[in-house]
Structure 1
Amino acid sequence: MTKRRLGTLAGGLLVGWLTAGCGAEPAQEQVASQEQPLAEAPQRAPALENLEFIPSEMPSSATPGLIRARLAEGEKATRFLLTGDDGKELVLSDDGFNGDEKAGDGLFSGFGIVNLDEHRKTQERIAAFQKESTEPLTVATFQDRVLVRETALVPLPSDVFAPGRPIPLPSTGIARAVVPNKSLIINHPSVVGDPTRTWDPCTRTGNPNGVWTFKHLMTEMANTAAPAPAFTERWLRQWLTTQSVNGRPVQARSAMATQILNAWPRLSTGELDLARSPFKLVAIVNRLDLGRGSRGPYGTSGAGELRFVFSVMTSMTCSRPYEGFLVIFEYGVPQNQCLQVKSWAQAWTGLSNPLLALGSSAYNTQLQNLTQQVVLRNKAPGKPNGSAINQVRTNEIMLSTPWWEMREFRLFSTAANPRHFTTTAVPGHLSEHVTVRTPFDPFNNSTTLTNFLTTHNAPILNGTHDVPLDYGTTPNFLGAFPQMATNTFIWNAPNLGSVPNGFNARHKFSLNTCTGCHAGETRTDFTHVGVSGALSPFLAAGMTNVNNPYNVTDPVSGQVRSFFEIRERAQHLDSAAHQSCLIRSLDQSVAFVH
């Protein structure tokens, strides 16, 4: 932004400042000081508490004016970048220059463009939903998936949209506008069993080359790294030998041969026949919420993940599906710019259209148009194989009872830290990887974990912690192949009373592990999407009514927590689809990865 542009806006805002009650007219030297160029490079956007805008002209789709923000609690900055609604970066500072009224008052200011026409439409939309609703309309605030606050959602008065008037720019999502089983978690038989797009290994019907088949996803992921059958078999054979990940052994599960590989039909060449794979699609999941607050360009959110959940169906599991083996393909949606993310969100909310029947030919076509934007080869040129895949996760009890075991695989690149991968990793292939935020199992109920909860207390409580490869003098801390013997499994530690806010820190740490999330912390029987596509109560509670809570009693402290997982996902999806890029700056980073 040029110095002349800053000066023009500053002059146009003088009347606005007076109207807003911000004090007497600034002296000429103050106005001049507001045109001073920035002395140092601004940082990317921190988390924000709120935003407001003072227009200098009549509201339009590209209104110039003064944007003001306060940082969220605990955040620090001198100046930072955001994205205006014109797609251009803008600088907010608290130094008394470039539109900032008073240095050091905690109110960051800068000039930019806001689409007030869109903001007015949001108010009209709120009013329309209020009129249709028999219950008060609210917007919820969540912390680690728990509802902590509800705020009445009321439209702004129309007269606030005038030059010189401060206009609040809150993040607003109407969760009830989203139909969860059409736009969030799709497990309807007419979708996951679409005969033109999927393959059913039990009935041997469908299209083995369909766009939602295991074969299609593996072929596109392999790209030119290897023929897809060899790429697939090399991945599965990792269960047949003991692997070493982060310096510790991952024991073989030899039933991979007897249960899956030996029963898989092969071509005359001896290769796996991917057209007759035993993997049956059971769900397609939109996880746009995982991109929330991911600090994309100038503070905007990302598009999160797209997931496909498959269940292994053998001659045994077709009739006894509880002996399960689930595979989850988790793709990072390659939409990074704010307007791209907004368009992506709008396409998903479009699936909630009441005129579009779930599982109809029109619905499935629209869904296919979305999924193909992500899964096709070379959609993410900067990632291994050009694939958008982030990771492939498995959750199974088929290969060895009585333990459910989880594993994580990623495409290996020589640029990666080799300690994150098995020592047998090969570039371009799915290779066993450490399991995010989950230590090796022997550290459960240990003093090492007590110490970790203490030394990492603040980031654990605010959801920004990570689990490192090594912890202090303890090597090989971050784990692989976490196991769950019972559905009451949790991560616990002795002497929690010595840990600041110890019970809450324990819960948040455990909830953010793979195993805690799939067992005791959410009262879940090992899978959130089951081998037949059924959802855990943690997810199912909000699928028919997003306002339904799912209450879980903490197994250690006895505290009852009310989870609204689907409501949180729906609210963010609606907000991302219907609000401006600037307002996306308010999105708070998610504390979870699952």
Structure 2
Amino acid sequence: MTQWFPKKALGLKWAWSGVLAATLCVGCGGGEAQEAGAPRGEQSQAATAEPVPADRPVPLVQSLDVVPLDDTIGSLTKSLVRARLAQGQEKQFKEVPAVSDSDKPIALRDDGTDGDEKAGDGVFSAIAEVDLVNHLKTQERITQVQQRQPDVPLTFAVINNREVVEERKVVALSPDIFKPGRTIPLTPVGLLSDVTPNKSLIITHPNVINDPTRTYDPCTNSGNPNGVWTFNHLMTEMAGGFTSPSNLTLGWLNKWSTAQVINGWTVNSRTAVNSKIITPWPKIGGQLDMTKAGFKLVAIVNRLDLGKGAGTGGYGGSSGGGELRFVFAGVDRSAGCAVRELLVIFEYNVPKTSCTAVRTWAQQWLALSNPGLILGSPAYNAALEALTEQVVVAGADPSKPHGNAINQIRTNDFMLASPWELREFHLNPGPAFLTETETVLTPGDTRNNQPIFRDFVNTNEAAILANTYSVPPTFLSQNFLGANPRIPLPGTTFWKATGILNNNARHKFSLNTCNGCHARETSTPDFTHISETGVLSPFLATGMANPLTPFNVVDPVSGTVRPFFEIRDRAQHLDSVANQSCLTRVFDVRLLAVH
């Protein structure tokens, strides 16, 4: 059987420790989760966590199959579902959470109860409803792709933290095995041929970001200032009637006007926000005229992949809808008018929880790749609007402050001051103001290349390698989690320290930081992965052109060449979620970094 995460390939010590609960949707500005005990806010201080405490272990599924128990094969066939775990994990777990194709959570067990065949045989099983009609259609899709591309090997990449650790050959199952009592394998399949990245993943086409009915250009005063993809619309929906969009926006911008203290770090002011943005912003009765907002749309991004393993079934049990993102560039009106290097990224939780709802969401994104739907055409833009409005409107996520689905707003700034700096803001549950917070998974800059960083990596090596770690507010009685990661020189910053025992752990940690990912660990030359004009970094652009082409980066410490497949990972996941059984989501492994 295929071992999904071989120890040799990952260099892992199978010691599954680390804080998982705090990394449900984290990374540089990732998600709403926060380290336990760390209050949000400018003056936040938190209890010491040294080292990162262990949380529940993580089961990694090695193989999955089903045996139909009904007399006929149907869309909800009562079946025996069986899973095997990665080598050495059989005795560590009592159950493996999963979700059936009828959206019911199930627990695969190896205790001889609730449908399990035999206690202690290493096979976790349960009875569940399986959509075998859809599974058969997947085999037909595989056959069609193979016929269209007979000379191209069809594989599924097992990707861990953006690097391929295994290539699995994809072969269509014979229709003859789709019969009662037969063993039918269930494996994740993501067909890249059906995904067009610039239509379904990262959208920067001029006919989209300059749509005259949905966007607005403050320099040319063209477009619709109330359009559904404007800064005005997003802030209005975020204000949600609890305050005015002008108050919400001005309160957020004023964070740059004065120094902030966050987790003990002083974040210096960038007062050019007044002369370049606030002062020249047209006003009505002293309030910001939101129809003249000084920000221009440059990209709309589907991050379904951030939902891996984050659904209602728990880790591996199902996957959530990830995030929907809008990227805006700041406009400098102080000298003429032009977009500048101030990127503002609205990062929304996609409020889809059931497997069926997430699948429908994925299918709608995949439908944008239809060859008959022209990118940027009225029909395409209407379909894209139907997706985005599900998420951004007031009340879309009642579980979050003011019912707005925003997870966080992140900024990448080189317009207001030097050096490049990233900040993160969260919507308060009380007064509708955006609060500046820590940047998750990134320590304060002064902890880089210091013994405290060495000690953190060495202490938490196993958790870092297993992607189950968190960066606590304090470590060794010192403030640790940072607030405004910076890059002094383009493309040079990465995290390091003399005495780190495992360079793979150093690399993974550095890659998951804001300034490591936006610089040396991904060979990103100009701070941003999506620039103020919508140009993609090589890290993204390589896969957008061809997801099968790796973007190779030389490790700054070891010299090892690391091939990254960022877009391939996103495309595979999109196709798999849109087309496959809910049960295959047990293979999904949660991401940490979300850049």
User: For 1:449 and 1:381, how far apart are their aligned partners in 2?
Assistant: 39
Relative contact order, CA 8 A, sep 6+: which one is greater?
2
Note if 1:487 corresponds to 2:500.
no
Equivalent in the alignment of 1:249: 266
Q: Does 1:122 align with 2:138?
A: yes
* 1:527 alignment partner, SS class: coil
Describe how 1:9-88 pairs up with structure 2 within 5 A.
46-57=59-70, 58-72=72-86, 76-88=92-104
**1:122-521 counterparts in 2 under 5 A?**
122-133=138-149, 134-267=151-284, 269-297=285-313, 299-315=317-333, 321=339, 323-401=340-418, 403-413=419-429, 427-474=431-478, 476-496=479-499, 498-499=500-501, 502-521=502-521
State the distance in 1 between where 2:231 and 2:432 align: 18
Maintained 8 Å contact 1:445/1:491: no
For the residue of structure 2 that corresponds to 1:324, the secondary structure is strand
Q: SS at 1:336's partner residue?
A: coil
Q: Indicate the SS of the match to 2:520.
A: coil
Q: Is the 8 A contact 2:275 2:334 kept in 1?
A: no
- Residues 70 and 472 from structure 1, CA distance in 2 versus in 1: closer, same or farther, beyond 3 angstroms? farther
CA distance in 2, matches of 1:66, 1:387: 41
Seen in structure 2, the aligned counterparts of structure 1 residues 317 and 505 have a Cα distance that, compared at 3 Å, is: farther
Letter aligned with residue 540 of structure 2:
L
Question: Quick one: distance in 2 between partners of 1:514 and 1:266?
Answer: 35
Structure 1 gaps, min length 5:
1-42, 415-426
Q: Give the aligned residue type for 1:147.
A: V
Q: What amino acid is the match of 1:357?
A: I
Letter in 2 for 1:248: W
Deviation string for 1:145-187 (max 9, x for gaps)? 0122111111011211122211110011112210000000000
Report how many residues are paired: 533
- Residue 474 of structure 2 aligns to a residue whose secondary structure is coil
Q: Normalization by structure 1: what TM-score?
A: 0.87
In structure 2, distance between residues paired with 1:155 and 1:185: 30
* Structure 1 position 589, deviation (Å): 1.4
Q: 77-86 or 254-263, which moves further after superposition?
A: 77-86
Q: In the alignment, residue 84 of structure 2 is paired with which amino acid?
A: R
Work out the CA distance in 2 between the residues paired with 1:340 and 1:490. Answer: 40
Relative to structure 1, the CA distance from residue 128 to residue 316 in structure 2 (aligned partners, 3 Å threshold; closer, same or farther) is farther
Q: Is the 8 A contact 1:45 1:81 kept in 2?
A: no
The answer on whether the counterparts of 1:45 and 1:80 sit within 8 Å (CA) in structure 2 is no
CA contact (8 A) 1:447 1:493 kept: no
Q: Hey, what does 1:104 align to over in structure 2?
A: 120
Query: Within 1, Cα distance between the matches of 2:426 and 2:63?
Result: 38
% of aligned pairs identical?
A: 51
Measured on the aligned residues, the alpha-carbon RMSD in Å equals 1.7
**How far has the Cα of 1:562 moved from its partner?**
0.7
Q: Secondary structure at the match of 1:297?
A: coil
- C-alpha displacement of 1:131: 0.4
Is the 1:406–1:481 contact (alpha carbons within 8 Å) kept by the matching residues of 2? Answer: yes
Name the aligned partner's letter for residue 412 of structure 1: N
Q: Name the larger-Rg structure.
A: 1
CA displacement at 1:209 relative to structure 2: 0.5
Structure 2-normalised TM-score?
0.87
> Which AA in structure 1 matches 2:78?
P
Q: Does 1:95 align with 2:115?
A: no
Question: SS of the residue aligned with 2:287?
Answer: coil
Aligned to 1:591: 592
Name the CA shift for 1:255/1:106 in 2 (closer, same or farther; >3 Å): same
> 2:547 aligned with 1:546, yes or no?
yes
SS in 2 for 1:543: helix
Aligned partner of 1:548: which letter?
T
Please state how far the C-alpha of 1:248 moved relative to its aligned partner: 2.0
1:13 corresponds to:
none
> Do the aligned partners of residues 411 and 162 (structure 1) sit closer, same or farther apart at CA in structure 2, a change above 3 Å counting?
same
Residue identity matched to 1:465: Y
SS in 1 for 2:521: coil
Q: Which moved more, 1:353-362 or 1:296-305?
A: 296-305
1:51 aligned partner, one-letter code? L
The answer to whether the 8 A contact 1:317-1:324 is kept is: no
Which sections of structure 2, spanning at least 5 residues, go unmatched?
1-55
Alpha-carbon distance in 2 for matches of 1:281, 1:309: 6
CA contact (8 A) 1:377 1:387 kept: yes
